[in-house]
A and B are shown apart, each in its own frame.
Chain A
């Protein structure tokens, strides 16, 4: 008995601790948030774009020129470049994600960029659009497909429709840095490229294989410079000497240094959410959650009385733990995610309702209250286990397959189910037993009754039937 009370106290203290943490770390709740220790400032809720405002961009990456085995690598390089680019512009907590094509997700290789707080989509698109695409191409082998066109006069003309140059593996991803130089004789500005180790090897190979031929340097899909290779270049240095003005050259160096794209990208879709829209959605979500919570608590206490009160305490515990998990992981909250959380409030009491109904039944059968509680927990367990397992399976599938919106929902929902199994079973059980009710009298019978009748009356009804 003593043990149970101590256990219940420990749970109470832990729960209050967690609730205090949630309160302390939330600027909207805690009025003295600004004067807080740095520790508490580290864990605000992380809001998704639809709640905080910002831009969401989806790019399609054209990987048709990349050898099959290299696609993953190129896409990773692409993500790194865009990430660096976005960070350079001082966006706080940008998210740059890859989405791979395939049977499950359909579509091709995609890049998803989330820019919280950037509500000017023009700026956002321009910011990313300035990332240069740098490619090195070699002369197409002779005898590449050509097309014979017969003109009006009947004369045959050979038209070369194949591109003059073919792509190589060497792209902007192997660029270490770019510098601005001036030709010592002509004073013409030039851009000097230095490759990294892998790029140096590739460049050496390309120049070795193409002595006497042209190697074209493509920038954003157009050739800017097509020098003829005189000899193998082993030191990994290349020079672009297009007819730049000094300003153009300077700009290009800047762009190259902030990262060059390994594959071309095109913008597929954009979404911006104004900050006010997000703010009102948060307020509405919080309001709905609080009202929903109160309604559940009211229902539990009115219908299940004492056990209902304990279920409400377990629900408070559940809410604090789940919110703390959201902060600590952190889980990015979206409107759909908040929806998932609100529904999980309703679901969290499911196990309690199952157990209490079972308890009532056992007490009706003539068990005393103590045994009834025991049997209720024991016999309700299989359905709690099976139904929650199916919910967890569902949320895992949704998380795995889903679009970002569905993922957010699946995560909050799945976490909710897991935490609720603990709160609704373990926590409420500890509290119920800690109360140490063994006697059967009219008070306990009232407290453990439900609906409109007391436990005793229900037991009598059973007998009469």
Chain B
């Protein structure tokens, strides 16, 4: 199996990808959405064509709401982002947008999130990621408890966690790059996408490990490396096919789905791609590498 044969190359490639992604995250930073840092978002539509951005900017400036971000959306609308607003400020803002009544405007949506709610959400999001990862390592240790030779079952758990980190670090890095050039922000849906990637990627790993478990039990292979290699190639078609089917639903979700889930489906597609990559080209080589390190001792 070429994956095992060239395992050092594949392992290095994954490590390079992770390092590059981390560099992206730290140089570009992750822009937090109002879900997490608090703030307000107002979406409006102008029925008779929208006024120039500068007109809107001038109108809003008079209100003493600092740091207003105005982005065009759709054919004739704007999204206006500010700090969190009180009810009175909200009314003043939506009142000013018609530019003294010259441009009839309707409010399509308004969200204002206090900073405390935001930090609470961020707290929850981080906790859920930690809980999910912990539950997965426990489950894998349990599910593979009978497989303790030549690699003990908790090491399968650890490998899963390392590859899971791989699977969420890379999309996060790409997202950091993306959000540097577009208006994409880290919101609850982004965290949800990461959590879904975790779930789907564990699926893949379990299928490969299950095959290794079965082949170890049945015996007949020369050594551990061969067992892992054969098991990986036996599951490769399934892994690719299932990723394809999920991407088949994500692509329409990106192109035709609701605006809110656009970034979500994009991140998920990227994550799925790297998830399948890591199941085949990272988890398996890593497993063999760990076993070889064990033997050296």
Contacts and interface: CB of A to CB of B under 8 A. Distances in A.
B140 to A, nearest CB: 8
Nearest to A315: B245
Interface string B218-238: 000000000000000011011
A139 to B, nearest CB: 34
Contacts of B58: none
Interface residues of B, number: 74
Interface of A: 50, 58, 60, 104-107, 121-122, 125, 267-274, 276-277, 280-282, 284-285, 287-289, 291-293, 295-296, 299-300, 303, 335-336, 338-339, 342-343, 345-347, 349-350, 353-354, 357, 361, 379, 382-383, 386-387, 389-391, 393-395, 397-398, 401-403, 405-406, 409, 413
B255 to A, nearest CB: 8
A114 to B, nearest CB: 14
A295 B207 contact: no
A342 B124 contact: no
Given A271-B112, A339-B253, A343-B246, A409 B203 contact: no
28 contacts: A58-B114, A104-B127, A106-B123, A268-B113, A269-B84, A269-B111, A271-B109, A272-B110, A274-B109, A276-B108, A281-B258, A288-B258, A291-B256, A292-B250, A292-B251, A292-B253, A299-B248, A339-B257, A343-B250, A346-B245, A349-B242, A387-B203, A390-B206, A393-B135, A397-B132, A398-B132, A401-B127, A406-B195
B43 A277 contact: yes
Given A354-B238, A357-B241, 16 more contacts: A106-B119, A107-B117, A268-B116, A289-B252, A292-B253, A299-B248, A336-B192, A342-B257, A345-B249, A346-B246, A357-B238, A383-B207, A390-B203, A394-B135, A397-B135, A409-B192
Contacts of B250: 292, 342-343, 346
B189 A295 contact: no
B214 interface: yes
B121 interface: yes
B52 interface: no
Interface stretch (B6-14, B96-104, B260-268, B282-290): B260-268
B295 interface: no
Chain A's interface: helix, strand, loop or mixed, by majority?
Answer: helix
Contacts of A394: 132, 135-136, 195, 198-199, 202
Nearest to B246: A346
A182 to B, nearest CB: 36
Contacts of B124: 104-106, 401-403
Interface in B85-102: 87, 90-91
B110 A121 contact: yes
Contacts of B261: 285, 335-336, 338-339
A235 B242 CA distance: 72
Contacts of A284: 256-259
A31 B224 CA distance: 63
Interface of B: 38, 43, 84, 87, 90-91, 106-114, 116-117, 119-121, 123-124, 127-128, 131-132, 135-136, 139-140, 143, 188-189, 191-192, 195-196, 198-200, 202-203, 206-207, 210-211, 213-214, 234-235, 237-238, 241-242, 244-253, 255-261, 264-265, 268
A413 B192 CA distance: 12
Given A292-B253, A394-B132, A121 B245 contact: no
A276 B75 CA distance: 14
Which of B90, B207, B265 has the most A CB atoms < 10 Å from its CB? B207
Given A343-B196, A350-B203, A336 B189 contact: yes
B234 A361 contact: yes
B120 to A, nearest CB: 4
Contacts of A268: 113-114, 116-117
Contacts of B199: 390-391, 394-395, 413
B120 A107 contact: yes
Nearest to B144: A386
Contacts of B90: 121, 270
A50 B260 contact: yes
A393 B256 contact: no
Contacts of B120: 105-107
Contacts of B242: 346, 349-350, 353-354
By Cβ-Cβ distance, the 7 closest A-B pairs, closest first, are A292-B249, A346-B246, A281-B258, A291-B252, A107-B120, A288-B257, A383-B210
Contact of B108 (A271, A274, A379): A274
Contacts of B253: 288, 292, 339, 342
B238 A299 contact: no
Contacts of A271: 109-113
A397 B199 CA distance: 11
Given A274-B109, A345-B249, A350-B242, A398 B195 contact: yes
Nearest to B240: A353
Contacts of B121: 403
